[in-house]
Amino acid sequence: MRADLLEILAQRHSIRAYTNDRIERATLERICSAARRAPSGANLQPGKFHVLTGTALQALIDRLLMAQDTGEPISSEYSYFPERMSRALKDRQRRAGYALYEALGIERRDVQGRRAQFARNYAFFGAPVGVVVTIERAMGKGCFMDLGMAIMTFLLSAEDEGLGTSGIGALANYGPIVHEHLNLPEDELAVCGIAVGFPDKDAKVNQFRTERCSLAEFTTFRGFEDI
């Protein structure tokens, strides 16, 4: 891989605090166009990116926060996490969560503080641009993999533009509300959100990093001993 690509992969991480600096529409168009270059089975190119800013984004944020505050039902249109998470995966999830809260100075027993931080998912972490990612309901499970490649291409392209991003899986909790609020076509399913903006480099929440598995944990090599 080229050195600059390795650098982008190494420096990319979830950004949860942003400046108010405006992002030009042309920049976002380049990012979305790059995302569509991702491969897909049979070239179906599943998924869409609905890009919001200004009053359009704030209206969605207000609706999502109201849903959380009033205890509106959580959606289960699709399963984001395993229905039964193994102990190893649960431990990995907890370590990431504890690292985030520690960076924010939130104690493990501070339920209100953790709830307030989670609510920032629905505010797109204060980013000036929010993206709602959807997929056609008729698509097969494999198409979610193709959509994932498009999302990753989006994230790396944004990084290359000097922007920060964070995926927002929590948006799917209120998928039907997002669907209704944006008046999306019936055949579209809200999958996740993406916060986009210029990182606030002084924010502590942007300083912490999650761990990555070692190569030996997720990779096997076979046949190389014969070469």
Residue 57 lies in a domain: yes
- Residue 26's identity, in one-letter code, is A
Q: Is residue 72 in a domain?
A: yes
Report the pLDDT value the prediction gives residue 2, as an integer from 0 to 100. 67
Q: What is the CATH number of the domain that holds 158?
A: 3.40.109.10
**What are the tokens at 191?**
């999958």
Q: Which one, of 209, 197, 196, 134, lies nearest residue 171 by Cα?
A: 134
Which parts of the chain sit beneath pLDDT 50? none
Domain residues for the domain of 58 are: 3-81+122-202
For residue 111, CA distances in Å to 55, 65, 114, 162, 174 come to 31, 17, 5, 35, 21
Number of domains in the chain: 1
209 domain-assigned: no
**According to the model, what pLDDT value does residue 78 have?**
87
Query: What DSSP letter does each residue of 100-163 carry, written as one string?
Result: HHHHHT--TT-HHHHHHHHHTTTTGGG-SEEEEEEEETTS-HHHHHHHHHHHHHHHHHHHHTT-
Residue 23: per-residue pLDDT: 98
Contact 125, 17 (CB under 8 A): yes
Query: How far apart are alpha carbons 155 and 167 in whole angstroms?
Result: 9
Q: What is the DSSP letter of 85?
A: -
Question: At 53, phi and psi to the nearest 5?
Answer: -150, 175
Q: How does pLDDT run across 60-118, given as a tens digit for each residue?
A: 999 999 999 999 999 878 888 888 899 999 999 999 988 888 888 888 888 898 889 99
Query: Is position 141 within any domain?
Result: yes
Residue 195: per-residue pLDDT:
98
pLDDT score at 79: 84
In the prediction, which pLDDT does 184 show? Answer: 97
Amino acid 110: pLDDT: 86
Separation between Cα atoms, residue 105 and residue 99, nearest integer Å: 10
**Crossing angle between the packed helical segments 141-160 and 3-11, to the nearest 10 degrees:** 100
Decide if 173 is inside a domain: yes
The answer to whether 198 and 21 have CB atoms below 8 angstroms apart is: yes
Q: Which pLDDT belongs to residue 101? A: 86
